């Protein structure tokens, strides 16, 4: 089986990266992590990648004169590694419309809210302050608009009466580690079809496909 090569962009400890690395260790998984790049030297995720035998590099955004030259270096590295899909895993830089347009429907992001609600930062604090009873996470196709684009997968968690930002974040992160590998597998195996702003997997709503208890790679 020929596996789709994936580049993962990170800025921090790389817990979602680890979930992708663990999934890709399965020979039946349709994606191969070919490259990990961080805009921050010393990001913990770089060590995770190297421990898995993956090419891991730092492209420090502060070393470039402008965003265009920084993104050009990212693009060059990804294409040289043969990457066909990009996964953003805690990558704390907003990509320009020009960069995104060069990878149409081939960039995935995971966000710790049930989009389109609560875009941006400090999500768990905001959902608790808003009195919400549900929180969650979303994997979506990246578009030039922040935290926008067709939704591939979502998972919800209850907000408990005594939840803090930290406890809620921890429960959401568990779901992130479940749905991100599943969504990447769907995209890498070309099972995703976009119709306007909606995404479908094998002709079924991608969100509905998550009702299965575990990710299924058998169609890959």
pLDDT digits (tens, 9 = 90+) for 17-44: 999 999 999 999 999 999 999 999 999 9
Helix (H) or strand (E) holding 124: helix 123-129
Same domain, 120 and 188: yes
Same domain, 152 and 204: yes
Same domain, 87 and 119: no
Last residue of a domain, one of 52, 78, 103: 103
Query: Does any domain span residue 14?
Result: yes
Q: How far apart are CA 23 and CA 49, in angstroms?
A: 13
The pLDDT mean for the chain works out to 91
Strands (E), 11-150: 31-38, 55-58, 85-89, 107-111, 134-141
Give the structural domain span for 25.
1-103
Contacts with 116 (C-beta within 8 Å, 6 or more apart), sequence order: 147, 148
Q: How far apart are CA 139 and CA 179, in angstroms?
A: 7
pTM over 0.75: yes
Query: Does any domain span residue 214?
Result: no
Q: How far apart are CA 192 and CA 118, in angstroms?
A: 25
pLDDT above 50 (res 214): no
Last residue of a domain, one of 33, 68, 103: 103
Query: Does any domain span residue 218?
Result: no
- Counting the structural domains of the chain, the total is 2
Last residue of a domain, one of 103, 125, 154: 103
Same domain, 145 and 200: yes
Query: Does any domain span residue 3?
Result: yes
8 versus 1: the higher-pLDDT residue is: 8
Same domain, 97 and 188: no
pLDDT score recorded for residue 198: 87
Catalytic site positions = 111
Same domain, 19 and 82: yes
Q: How far apart are CA 220 and CA 217, in angstroms?
A: 5
Same domain, 181 and 89: no
Strands (E), 75-124: 85-89, 107-111
Confidence band for 205, pLDDT divided at 50, 70 and 90: low
Query: Does any domain span residue 219?
Result: no
76: CATH = 3.40.50.170
Same domain, 6 and 99: yes
Query: Does any domain span residue 220?
Result: no
Query: Does any domain span residue 215?
Result: no
């Amino acid at each position: 089986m020929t596996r789709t090569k994936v580049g993962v962009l990170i800025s921090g400890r790389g817990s979602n990266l680890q979930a992708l690395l663990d999934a890709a260790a399965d020979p039946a998984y349709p994606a191969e992590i070919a490259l990990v790049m961080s805009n921050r030297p010393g990001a913990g995720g770089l060590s995770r990648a190297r421990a898995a035998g993956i090419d891991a590099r730092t492209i420090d955004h502060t070393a470039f004169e402008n965003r265009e030259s920084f993104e050009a270096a990212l693009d060059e590295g990804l294409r040289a590694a043969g990457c066909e899909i990009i996964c953003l895993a805690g990558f704390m830089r907003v990509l320009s419309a020009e960069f995104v347009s060069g990878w149409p429907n081939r960039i995935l992001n995971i966000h710790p809210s049930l989009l389109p609600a609560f875009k941006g930062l400090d999500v768990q604090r905001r959902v608790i302050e808003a009195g919400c009873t549900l929180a969650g996470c979303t994997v979506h196709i990246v578009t030039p608009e922040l935290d926008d684009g067709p939704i591939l997968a979502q998972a919800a968690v209850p907000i408990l009466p005594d939840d803090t930002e930290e406890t809620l974040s921890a429960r959401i992160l568990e779901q992130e580690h479940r749905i991100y590998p599943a969504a990447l597998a769907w995209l890498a195996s070309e099972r995703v079809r976009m119709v306007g702003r909606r995404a479908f997997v094998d002709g079924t709503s991608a969100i509905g496909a998550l009702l299965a208890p575990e990710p299924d790679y058998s169609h890959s």
